[in-house]
Amino acid sequence: MKKVTLSNYKSDTYYPKIVKAFDELLTKQEVICPIDLFIQLGNLTPSNHKNWITGKVPYLERVIAGNLSKFSRILKIIGFHAHDLNMKPCKPNYSPNVRGTKKKLRYSKIGTQSIEDSYTKAYKWNRKLTYEEWKSEQED
């Protein structure tokens, strides 16, 4: 497994796909969470996401297409790219519970706090300009 660091994350094979997904999502919304990106990247289908939210699937990693090392790399790149865009970490815009119950949603089979936190960390656009305005300024 290739270790993703601050110095090499832009050369990772997933980086261009993540940047494109960020771009598409930021034109629609100001808060981005890894779940949105996994859906945008095609690793998570909306139906599998719904099954997880409703408690039909015990943990999210079971229905995301790919392997754990890929998810870990993508999550790290998401954090680095959000930092580059000056986005601020915030609470996710969804309930931490299975719909209609008090049962907590699980993201990983292991359930360690650090892994769960990496899936739940959301990022908020933190500039006065909209993303489109900022992006057009960067291109000039």
For 98-109, the pLDDT digits (tens) are 777 778 889 999
* Domain contains 96: yes
* Domain contains 3: no
Please give the residue range of the domain that contains residue 82: 9-139
Q: What is the pLDDT of residue 99?
A: 74
* Domain contains 28: yes
Q: What is the pLDDT of residue 93?
A: 65
* Domain contains 54: yes
Tell me how many domains the chain contains: 1
**Per-residue tokens: 69:** 């090392």
**Per-residue tokens: 119:** 């899936």
Q: What is the pTM of this model?
A: 0.88
Helix or strand or coil: residue 33? coil
The region of weakest confidence among 13-27, 34-48, 49-63, 121-135 is 121-135
* Domain contains 27: yes
* Domain contains 4: no
Q: Which long-range contacts (CB under 8 A, 24 or more apart) does 90-93 make?
A: 90/31, 90/122, 90/123, 90/124, 91/122, 92/31, 92/33, 92/35, 92/120, 92/121, 92/122, 93/31, 93/33, 93/122
